[in-house]
C-alpha cells in the first residue's frame, strides 16, 4: 500500500514536502521551495530509505532556531506513519 503525503512546513524556507511511503520505504520526495541544492540533496539521499531510519537521522537538525527543512521532513514522516 502506498500513502501519498503533502506536508505543509512551518518556520523554514521550503513551503511543503511531498513524498510517498510504500511498505515503510520513502519514495518520490519533492521539496517545494527552499534552498534548491540542499533540498534536492536531501530528497535524493532519502529515496528508498526506511521511514524509521530517516526520522532517526533527520529529526532535530537545526538551521533556523530549533528547526530546518530536514527536521520538518522528519516530522512529516512521523505524522504520516502515525496516521
Helix (H, G, I), strand (E, B) or coil at 78: helix
C-alpha to C-alpha distances, 51 to 2, 18, 33, 72, nearest whole angstrom: 13, 14, 22, 13
Report pLDDT for 5.
98
Cell of 22: 510504500
Per-residue pLDDT at 28 exceeds 90: yes
How do the domains of the chain map onto residue ranges?
A: 2-82
Q: How far apart are CA 18 and CA 71, in angstroms?
A: 14
**Predicted confidence (pLDDT) per residue in 36-56, tens digit:** 999 999 999 999 999 999 999
Mean pLDDT of 26-32: 98
Domain 2-82 is in which class? alpha beta
Amino acid at each position: 500500500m502506498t500513502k501519498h503525503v503533502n506536508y505543509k512546513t512551518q518556520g523554514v524556507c521550503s513551503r511543503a514536502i511531498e513524498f510517498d511511503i510504500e511498505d515503510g520505504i520513502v519514495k518520490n520526495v519533492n521539496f517545494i521551495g527552499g534552498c534548491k541544492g540542499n533540498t534536492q540533496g536531501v530528497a535524493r539521499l532519502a529515496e528508498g530509505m526506511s521511514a524509521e531510519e530517516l526520522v532517526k537521522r533527520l529529526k532535530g537538525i537545526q538551521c533556523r532556531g530549533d528547526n530546518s527543512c530536514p527536521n520538518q521532513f522528519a516530522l512529516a514522516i512521523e505524522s504520516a506513519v502515525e496516521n
